[in-house]
Amino acid sequence: MSRIIMGIESSCDETGVGLVRLHDDGTVELLADEVASSVEQHARFGGVVPEVASRAHLEALVPTADRAFAAADLKLSDVDAIAVTAGPGLAGALLVGVAAAKAYATALDVPLYGVNHLAGHIAVDTLEHGPLPSPCLALLVSGGHTQLLRVDDIATTITELGSTVDDAAGEAYDKVARVLDLPYPGGPPIDKAAKQGDPAAIAFPRGMTGPRDAKFDFSFSGLKTAVARWVEGAERRGEEIPVNDVAASFQEAVADVLTAKAVRAAKESGIGTLVISGGVAANSRLSALARERCAEAGIDLRVPRPRLCTDNGAMIAALGAHVVAAGVGQSALDISANPALPVDVVSI
């Protein structure tokens, strides 16, 4: 008998409620994916304001859930389990989703699963491309995270190979956008400008690629500073800033490092599948370069469609379904949201 899993996401600035069907053969089918975003309320601050995000989650949660059930043509009483993002993320924002999830689970008398947001970004790919081979490699890139992970079992066993030692890739995009007077969030406008620019125009540094650097860690802080220095130098000389060339060269440096390290990790561990997910996965240059390099190395590349790559409830429902299918025990009703939940803890 198939089961319906409701997923609730509130770790950053998107309130997401997703519904999936877990089939008896273990496949997971997407039924609804509703998101309410507070991104516009943060734009003038140049980054997510936690209190603004928390307030928006509280307002949006029940209406978003309503929309999800309407979209799937399901009733709340059809739900067989609730999954919720328990971390990592913003403390106050996470708490809204976790509190609501506990109430839904209690009222509907179904098990509750507090799950890991980062694992959700990987699990969401199964909605589009089917079960994940074991093992596979995952590259998570977004405004909040940049991580290279080995996935032996999406429901239980994830190991971090490397992560950023400073800024997340998406954060670097936001900061560089500010330097170039482009709007927040910086990903889409930089991607757009870069398409008209020359990626080889400026040789920006590739962070953490020296012989003594950690093989699979990332650093984007130096790159961000190098872009600012270059722009300030041109301003001082009274030159017009070639925004498109700067954007293209910056984006090339990011995509180059991310894909080079991911492909190297796959080769060294003999892993044949790479999943790229997170908000930055929608970046056109990153996906193009990844496709090129994976094809060369004989690696099967999986990138969920952009709508699934950004934060949403469907990814949490999908992960919840895999956790349920694996027979993992449910979470207690007194669980805490954990802003620093480690990536190897898939459910709590």
Partner 1 sequence: MLVLAIDTATPAVTAGVATLAGDDVTVLAERVTLDARAHGELIMPHARDALQEAGVALGELDAIVCGVGPGPFTGLRAGIATAAALGHALGLNAYPVCSLDAIAAGVDTGEPFLVVTDARRREVYWAAYDASGKRVDGPCVQTPADLGHTVAAGDGGRLYADRLGVRMIEPYYPATSGLVAAASAALLAKAAPGPLTPLYLRRPDAVEPGARKRVTA
Structure token pair of residue 104: 């839904």
The yes or no reply on residue 61 touching partner 1 (CB under 8 A) is yes
| Binder of residue 101, out of partner 1, Zn ion, none (CB less than 5 to 8 A by kind) | partner 1
The CB density around residue 49, as the number of other CB atoms within 10 Å, is 17
273, 132 in Cβ contact below 8 A?
A: yes
Secondary structure (3-state) at 198: coil
Alpha-carbon gap, residue 88 to 77, rounded angstroms: 29
Min CB(140)–Zn ion separation in Å: 8
Written as one letter, the residue type at 77 is S
Q: Count interface residues toward partner 1 (CB under 8 A).
A: 41
Of 79 and 262, nearer to partner 1 (C-beta) is: 79
User: Is residue 44 near partner 1 by the rule CB under 8 A?
Assistant: yes
141-170 binders of Zn ion (CB under 5 A): 142
Residue 311 interacts with, from partner 1, Zn ion, none (CB under 5-8 Å by kind): Zn ion
* 307 binding partner 1? (CB under 8 A): no
Compute the distance between CA of residue 321 and CA of residue 138 in angstroms, rounded to an integer.
19
Interaction between residue 70 and partner 1 (CB under 8 A): no
Task: Answer whether 224's CB lies under 8 Å from 172's CB.
Answer: yes
The structure tokens 């990592």 sit at: 88
Binding segment (CB under 8 A) for partner 1, from list 49-57, 127-135, 146-154, 301-309: 49-57
Pick between residue 38 and residue 126 the one whose CB is nearest to partner 1: 38
**In the complex, minimum distance from the CB of residue 182 to Zn ion, in angstroms, rounded to a whole number:** 22
Among 40, 70, 106, 133, binds partner 1 (CB under 8 A): 106
d(CA 192, CA 185): 13
Residue closer to partner 1 (CB basis): 190 or 290: 190
Question: From the CB of 302, what's the least distance to Zn ion, in Å?
Answer: 17
Check residue 52 for interaction with partner 1 (CB under 8 A): yes
**Tokens 């090339």 correspond to what residue?**
252
140: CB partners within 8 A, 6+ apart: 118, 121, 122, 146, 147, 149, 277, 278
- State both tokens at 317: 């429902």
Instruction: Record the tokens describing residue 113, joined without a space.
Output: 């699963």
Does 87 count as an annotated binding residue? no
Q: Which partner in Zn ion, partner 1, none is near 240 (CB below 5 to 8 A by kind)?
A: none
Q: Is 298 annotated as a binding residue?
A: no
CB 29, min distance to partner 1, A = 23
Spatial contact of 337 and 86, defined as CB atoms under 8 Å apart:
yes
The piece of 36-44, 151-159, 181-189, 311-319 that touches Zn ion (CB under 5 A) is: 311-319
Stretch that binds Zn ion, among 68-76, 140-148, 166-174, 234-242 (CB under 5 A): 140-148
Rule CB under 8 A: is residue 229 a binding residue for partner 1? yes
Phi-psi region of 89 (alpha: psi -120 to 50; beta: other; left: phi over 0): left
Distance CA 336, CA 230 (A): 45
Question: Is there a cis peptide before residue 135, judged by omega within 30 degrees of 0?
Answer: yes
Under rule CB under 5 A, residue 311 binds Zn ion:
yes
Q: What residues pair up with 19 in beta bridges, in sequence order? A: 6, 32
Instruction: Using CB under 5 A, list all residues that contact Zn ion.
Output: 142, 311
Instruction: Using CB under 8 A, list all residues that contact partner 1.
Output: 44-46, 49, 51-52, 54-55, 58, 61-62, 65-66, 76, 91-92, 95-104, 106-108, 178-179, 225, 228-229, 232-233, 333-337
